[in-house]
Amino acid sequence: MTTEELDLLIFRIADIPFGMDMEQIACIREPEQAQLQADRVFRFDEKLRFPKKPVVYRAPMLLIPEDETPVSALLIEKPDEIVRIRTDAIRPLPRLIERALPGHPVWGVALIDQKLILLVDFYRILGQNTDP
């Protein structure tokens, strides 16, 4: 991989495709294998404040971040794939959205196989407050 490329973990939540930089992810585990305290596991849909309709995880997996102490994990749906993309295929969010949502975990979009993928920063999403 060159500095002009990025490996993205692609997964879907509520049929919305998301991508996360693999360099931020230490490992992917089934929830039973992770042996984490329940208060250190966060649901992706709650962190991004999805509409009140409950998200059902049919094949849940946990993402464990690099360099996180104490260890936290993010619950997602089983990933679809890992894709290597060129950084010039990434577009930042419009400035209006960035100003309205400073520090939001979604930081850009990528076009992969004619589909828009929302790019999420793992460290930002773990820092997001879930209170209304």
Q: CB of 98 within 8 A of CB of 108?
A: no
Which has the closest alpha carbon to 21: 2, 33, 5?
Answer: 5
Which residue has 């949502």 as its token pair? 101
Per-residue pLDDT in tens (0 to 9) along the chain, 132 residues: 666 999 999 999 999 999 999 999 999 999 988 777 777 899 999 998 887 788 999 999 999 998 766 688 999 999 999 999 999 999 988 888 777 777 789 999 999 988 999 999 999 998 854 444
- The domains of the chain, with CATH numbers, are 5-127 (2.30.30.40)
> Can you tell me whether residue 122 is helix, strand or coil?
helix
